[in-house]
Structure formats: structure tokens, C-alpha cells
């Protein structure tokens, strides 16, 4: 009987211990913290310097190519630890110079110092097409024009436009004396523009398959090219730290120039029709407003490391940058499209013309005139249900701007010239 009592006591103690363990496990499970949500995805570290970046057009995927010729495709997330490598490819024999997704996101194009063009399947990471000797010298730049057309530029200034249905180039022209650093095209897919290390911008008509003209020579290499202001302006970056502006159909000579307090302007990425981001050898990514030309501020920085390239996500929420520190960093640029920039111009404040551009997809444009000091002028912007009041415009005092009772000085950049 005594033995049975001892067995019963042991059984009770065992059950109590098991219950305590289960309780501890439940408490531990409850106490385990959920993954932290960040404002931007975490940095991605690589084994070699990354030359080029591209965001997927419809998914949270980023492609990167490095100096060893390897290509990596990652999914990115703001959840801590959420970045995942999907696949990698080592088909290029030398440095990967440029990567770009097709418009449907199913293919990934890449060009390399090994003179080849590769097309990868994005889902499976397999090499679909390879053009081994696409150019006679290393290829430096790439532009996916549409689902069938591709443009490439090489180190000696030659431009080729490819019909990928046939795998052959229907345009092969050399009008630059140095490397082609960037390629862009207008919305109509007709006029193709190139920037070159020889200091000129090239203009090509791919519909008529002909060369149009070269711009005047500018100081330093032209490192990048982009179309801004709803197709009315072309912007080129320079190795001398200048931004050059050309009027559309006025490609021969610059219409304006803007000196940036940076060693160089190596990359240009439009964010809106009036705001762009630039990257420099000093490792700083800057936001720039065009017309009026102003530096809005610093977006981010790779401390002391030259930046190779920047890219904008499909929703314009993030900007990614790669530099010599072998990292890809993400920056939050979601606030840039909402920025406004005011400019007061004129000899006298009461004769000043006030320009307001709402840089939210560049859709709203409002112009009004303050005709006398202390006057109030009201007008209705297109598509907006609020009125703009210009109050207290006078020389020697800061003008007050209000939109629906909100002080715009707290929200937007304002300059008085």
C-alpha cells in the first residue's frame, strides 16, 4: 500500500512538472517578439562591388550585377530579415555592366564586359538567350525599349538596336568617340538619346533607322541622360558635377546648366516630372528640383564610397543604391512626389509672378499673380477642391502661403528671387 502511495505521489509530481513545462513553453511562445517592421528594407551585402541595379516592374524584386559577372535576384521586404535571395547566375565571364527587366517582368536582360547580351528567365533563373559577341568591344549600357526591341551601347561609342525576335541588330551606328554611358527613349518610342564620355548627347530616330545629330561638346564626360518635364526637357549628368538641360527639339545646345556641389553627377533617376535623384563619387544621393534648379537635400549616403548606380522602385517608394562598399542600400523617397516648389520672380515684389507646381505625378499646374503688396489673390487649381491664398507679399518680408488653412511653409520648399 505504501508503494502505491509513493507511485501516486510521483505521478502527481510528474504531471505537475509537465504542466509547468507546457506553461513555460506557452509563455515563451507568447514572449517571442514579432519581426520588426522597418521604414526601408535592410541593406544587402555582396562579396564583390555591385555595378548595376534594377527593380522588377510589378513585384518586390531587385536584380543586381557585380564586377565578377554574377547576377543576383532578391525579394525585398520592410520586415526585419525579410530580404531573400531567389537565385543567382554566373554566366557572364567578366564584369556585369547593366541589368534591366522586360516590361512584363518575365525576363531579365544583362550586358557585360565580355561583350555578350544575356536574357534570363526571372521565375526559374535560367539562361534563355545568349548573344556571345553582340559588340566587338565591351558593352557598357542597355535599354529595354519594348517586348521586342533592345538598345546597347559599348565602350567605343557604338550604338546597336536589336530585334530580339530575330536576334539581330537592325541599327549599328558609331557617332560617339568614347563610351556610351546612358540610353533613354521618348514615350512614342521614336527618338532615342544617348549620353557619352566624349561630352556629347546623341539623337537617333529608330523609326526611320537613322542618326539625327550630336549636341555641342560639354565639359567632362556626360554620364547619364533622362527625359523630364513631360517630355519637354532632357537632362544630362556630367563628371564635372554639372547638370545640363536641353529643350526637346533643341538638342544641339543646352538651354540651361546647373552646378551641383558634388564631385560628379554619375547617375540620374527621375522621381517626378520635376524632381530627380542623382548619385555622385562622394557617396551622396541627392534630390534635385528642376526649374527652378535647387538641391532639395540628401536622400542617403554610402560614407566615403563612390556610388555606381541608383534605381527607383515601381511604386516610387524606395530608391536603391550600390557603391564600392559592396552593399545595396534602400532609401525612402515616398515623400518626394508630394513636394512643391515656389519661385517668386520680378524686379518688385508687387509685380512678382508666382509659380506653383504640384509634383504629384506632375498633373496639377497653377499660376497666379500678386499685383500689389499685401494683396490677396485666389484661384482654383485643376482637380483640387481647395483654394490658394497668397498673403502679405512684400519686399523684405517672408511671404505667407496658405492652402485650405495649412501653412505651406511647413510643408514645401519656398524661394524668393
Residue 382: its pLDDT value, please?
39
Report how far residue 48's alpha carbon sits from residue 280's, in angstroms, rounded to the nearest whole number. Answer: 20
Q: What does the angle CA 283 – CA 292 – CA 219 come to, to the nearest 5 degrees?
A: 55
Find out whether 257 and 274 touch, Cβ atoms under 8 Å: no
Burial 348-386 (b: 16+ CB within 10 A, else e): ebeebebbbbbbeebeeebeeebeeeeeeeeeebeeeee
Is 32 inside a domain boundary?
Answer: no
pLDDT (tens digit, 9 = 90+) per residue, 291-327? Answer: 899 999 999 999 989 999 999 999 999 999 999 999 9
Question: Is the domain of 163 the same as that of 247?
Answer: yes
pLDDT: which is higher, 263 or 63? 63
Question: Is the domain of 232 the same as that of 246?
Answer: yes
Domains in the chain, number:
2
Question: Is the domain of 309 the same as that of 377?
Answer: no
Report how far residue 318's alpha carbon sits from residue 80's, in angstroms, rounded to the nearest whole number. Answer: 16
Q: What's the average model confidence in pLDDT over 141-158?
A: 97
Q: What's the average model confidence in pLDDT over 94-116?
A: 98
Residue 35: its pLDDT value, please?
82
User: Which has the minimum average pLDDT: 88-102, 173-187, 259-273?
Assistant: 259-273
- Among residues 292, 315, 336, the one where a domain terminates is 336
Structural domain including 401 reads 339-416
Is 28 inside a domain boundary?
Answer: no
Residue 7: its pLDDT value, please?
52
Report how far residue 23's alpha carbon sits from residue 130's, in angstroms, rounded to the nearest whole number. Answer: 60
Question: Is the domain of 82 the same as that of 168?
Answer: yes
- Among residues 336, 370, 387, the one where a domain terminates is 336
Please check the confidence at residue 4 and state whether its pLDDT lies above 90. no
* pLDDT over 90 percentage in the chain: 69
Residue 414: its pLDDT value, please?
39
Question: Is the domain of 68 the same as that of 164?
Answer: yes
Report how far residue 172's alpha carbon sits from residue 162's, in angstroms, rounded to the nearest whole number. Answer: 9
- Among residues 315, 336, 357, the one where a domain terminates is 336
**Residue 73 belongs to a domain with what CATH number?**
2.130.10.10
Question: Is the domain of 213 the same as that of 129?
Answer: yes
Report how far residue 121's alpha carbon sits from residue 313's, in angstroms, rounded to the nearest whole number. Answer: 20
Report how far residue 163's alpha carbon sits from residue 390's, in angstroms, rounded to the nearest whole number. Answer: 55
Please check the confidence at residue 1 and state whether its pLDDT lies above 80. no
- Among 224-233, 348-357, 380-389, name the most confident range: 224-233
Q: What's the average model confidence in pLDDT over 389-413?
A: 34
Please check the confidence at residue 346 and state whether its pLDDT lies above 60. no
pLDDT (tens digit, 9 = 90+) per residue, 221-278? Answer: 999 999 999 999 999 999 999 999 999 989 999 999 999 988 899 999 999 999 999 9
Question: Is the domain of 372 the same as that of 241?
Answer: no
Strand partners, 415: 343
- Long-range residue pairs from 245-252, CB within 8 A, at least 24 positions apart, any chain: 245/290, 245/291, 246/201, 246/215, 251/193, 251/201, 251/203, 251/212, 251/213, 251/215, 252/213, 252/215, 252/216
Amino acid at each position: 500500500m505504501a508503494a502505491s502511495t509513493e507511485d501516486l505521489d510521483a505521478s502527481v509530481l510528474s504531471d505537475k512538472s509537465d504542466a509547468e513545462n507546457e506553461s513555460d513553453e506557452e509563455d515563451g511562445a507568447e514572449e517571442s517578439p514579432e519581426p520588426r517592421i522597418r521604414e526601408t528594407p535592410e541593406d544587402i551585402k555582396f562579396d564583390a562591388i555591385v555595378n548595376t541595379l534594377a527593380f522588377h516592374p510589378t513585384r518586390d524584386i531587385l536584380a543586381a550585377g557585380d564586377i565578377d559577372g554574377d547576377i543576383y535576384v532578391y525579394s525585398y521586404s520592410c520586415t526585419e530579415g525579410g530580404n531573400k535571395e531567389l537565385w543567382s547566375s554566373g554566366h557572364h565571364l567578366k564584369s556585369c555592366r547593366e541589368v534591366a527587366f522586360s516590361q512584363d517582368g518575365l525576363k531579365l536582360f544583362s550586358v557585360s564586359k565580355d561583350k555578350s547580351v544575356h536574357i534570363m528567365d526571372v521565375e526559374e533563373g535560367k539562361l534563355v538567350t545568349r548573344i556571345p559577341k553582340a559588340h566587338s568591344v565591351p558593352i557598357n549600357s542597355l535599354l529595354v525599349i519594348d517586348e521586342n526591341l533592345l538598345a546597347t551601347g559599348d565602350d567605343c561609342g557604338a550604338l546597336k538596336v536589336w530585334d530580339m525576335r530575330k536576334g539581330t541588330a537592325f541599327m549599328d551606328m558609331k557617332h560617339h568617340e568614347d563610351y556610351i554611358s546612358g540610353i533613354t527613349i521618348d514615350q512614342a518610342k521614336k527618338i532615342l538619346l544617348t549620353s557619352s564620355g566624349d561630352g556629347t548627347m546623341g539623337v537617333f530616330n529608330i523609326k526611320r533607322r537613322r542618326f539625327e545629330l550630336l549636341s555641342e561638346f560639354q565639359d567632362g564626360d556626360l554620364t547619364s541622360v533622362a527625359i523630364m518635364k513631360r517630355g519637354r526637357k532632357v537632362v544630362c549628368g556630367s563628371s564635372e558635377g554639372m547638370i545640363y538641360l536641353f529643350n526637346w527639339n533643341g538638342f544641339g545646345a543646352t538651354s540651361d546648366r546647373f552646378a551641383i556641389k558634388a564631385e560628379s553627377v554619375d547617375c540620374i533617376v527621375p522621381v517626378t516630372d520635376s524632381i530627380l535623384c542623382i548619385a555622385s563619387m562622394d557617396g551622396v544621393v541627392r534630390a534635385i528640383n528642376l526649374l527652378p534648379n535647387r538641391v532639395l537635400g540628401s536622400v542617403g549616403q554610402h560614407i566615403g564610397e563612390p556610388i555606381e548606380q541608383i534605381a527607383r522602385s515601381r511604386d516610387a517608394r524606395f530608391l536603391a543604391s550600390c557603391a564600392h562598399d559592396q552593399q545595396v542600400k534602400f532609401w525612402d523617397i515616398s515623400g518626394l512626389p508630394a513636394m512643391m516648389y515656389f519661385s517668386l520672380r520680378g524686379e518688385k515684389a508687387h509685380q512678382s509672378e508666382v509659380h506653383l507646381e504640384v509634383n504629384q505625378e506632375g498633373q496639377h499646374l497653377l499660376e497666379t499673380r500678386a499685383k500689389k503688396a499685401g494683396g490677396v489673390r485666389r484661384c482654383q487649381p485643376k482637380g483640387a477642391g481647395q483654394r490658394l491664398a497668397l498673403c502679405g507679399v512684400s519686399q523684405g518680408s517672408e511671404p505667407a502661403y496658405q492652402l485650405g488653412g495649412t501653412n505651406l511653409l511647413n510643408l514645401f520648399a519656398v524661394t524668393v528671387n
